[in-house]
Amino acid sequence: MDILKSLGHPEEIYNLFKFKMGGCRTVMPKLDCESMSESLRTCYLYLNQTSRSFAAVIQALDGELRHAVCIFYLVLRALDTVEDDMTIPLDKKVPLLHNFNTFLYQEDWRFTESQEKDRQVLEDFPTISLEFRNLGQEYRDVIFDICHCMGVGMAEFLEKKVGSMKEWDKYCHYVAGLVGIGLSRLFSASQLEDPEVGRATDLANSMGLFLQKTNIIRDYLEDQKEGRAFWPKEAWSQFAARLEDFAQPQHLDSALSCLNLLVTDALRHVPDVISYLSRLRNQSVFNFCAIPQVMAIATLSACYNNPQVFQGVVKIRKGQAVTLMMQATSMGAVRVIISQYIQEIRQKVSPTDPTQDRTLQILDSIRDKNLSQDPLPSRVSSLSPVYLSAAMLLAALSWQYLSATTGQNSTGNMQGH
């Protein structure tokens, strides 16, 4: 039960209730589907079916940017589905990836041979490509260009594993950094953000790399079970003969050393994340960008020096996620959140960890970048222990009632995810 996991965190309980009772609309207003064409409504249906992370914040974007980002996401989801499908032979997959952007202007193109769970975006690609062609030229140019670059990059890594740390950066650039660059160009094209946001490609690339590296680090065990390997050999070969050895209990110390090295590498992108977010002016764009980033730094904190990465699944609490989502709506609040999790990681750094010095150095650089002119507000509750105990008991009882009465209505929406 989600609320029980947050019993030691009263702020999370409050935010779970606030979110459940409609507070989610503060950052995720309800989408008006009645004014949409049938094909556009279908695209938003696919968005909610295929996106675990971004559907809600995409739907909260302002104006025509919302539709542009929705279509951008679905086009890249279709491309990614081709890449992920191991049943497609390479002699067919490589040309598909190289030419995928051209299918956007072929009205009837579809692919019906995929076995992936998200194959509907390929089987009904004509609906997606129709809505792509309905976008303004300024949006179509960005999506067409990024789709081409990403397809070529994905094809490059089909037959080779990530070796060096530079190759790790390159792979993450192709699959996520380009997304950040494309989104930034869309933000500027919409005129909701300054042209400089779209031109700052290095910062946008870091936004994508930070998210992608966090996912790769967290998903070690899942990827191993699926026969995938994204941890760079340059890192893991310092501590083991084989990447899969980290899942064995006798190799835990070595596994944690490699894990901490990779978390440290991911953290070096945080100063760029701070710089990027500081440039944003539109509230919906800021929410869209900031929420995944604070979720990522919370996830990295949970993963750092955590044996569970090699034994199961590391997830942040639902109450924690809701709290982050509802708080990360201003740069001041984001700085507070970053400071909190940087301090958490610092407290976990072992003096015997091989990457200790580098980790502390990067944490210091994040702290320096994150310093603001005004003192950071306290996130510690001032409520008395007696009051908190009573409040938590009431919250637990009330949550049971709310879950029972509203759970059946939550299917298909993104409030709880």
Q: What is the pLDDT of residue 60?
A: 86
Amino acid sitting at position 412: G
Q: Give the DSSP H or E segment for 180.
A: helix 178-189
Residue 115, in any domain of the structure: yes
**CA 199, CA 254: separation in Å to the nearest integer?**
41
Amino acid sitting at position 102: T
Query: What range does the domain containing 102 cover?
Result: 23-136
List the one residue out of 191, 386, 360 whose CA is nearest residue 281: 191
Residue 92, in any domain of the structure: yes
Residue 60, in any domain of the structure: yes
- DSSP per position, 217-242: HHTHHHHHHTT---S-HHHHTTT-SS
In three-state secondary structure terms, 162 is: coil
Residue 54, in any domain of the structure: yes
Q: What is the pLDDT of residue 248?
A: 94
pLDDT, tens digit, 9 for 90 and up, residues 127-179: 999 999 999 999 999 999 999 999 999 999 988 889 999 999 999 999 999 99
**CA 249, CA 143: separation in Å to the nearest integer?**
45
What are all long-range contacts of 47-56, with beta carbons under 8 Å and residues at least 24 apart?
A: 47/73, 47/74, 48/412, 48/413, 48/414, 49/118, 49/120, 50/74, 50/77, 50/118, 50/121, 51/77, 52/417, 53/292, 53/295, 54/292, 55/414, 56/24, 56/28, 56/414, 56/415, 56/417
Sign of CA dihedral 350, 352, 356, 357: positive
Q: What is the pLDDT of residue 410?
A: 36
Residue 251, in any domain of the structure: no
In the chain, the number of structural domains is: 1
The Cα-based distances of 90 to 25, 99, 181 in angstroms read 45, 14, 28
Q: What is the pLDDT of residue 98?
A: 96
Residues annotated as part of the active site: 171, 218, 228, 288
Residue 105, in any domain of the structure: yes
Residue 95, in any domain of the structure: yes
**CA 404, CA 218: separation in Å to the nearest integer?**
32
Residues of the chain with pLDDT under 50: 1-4, 6-9, 12, 14-16, 19, 373-417
Residue 82, in any domain of the structure: yes
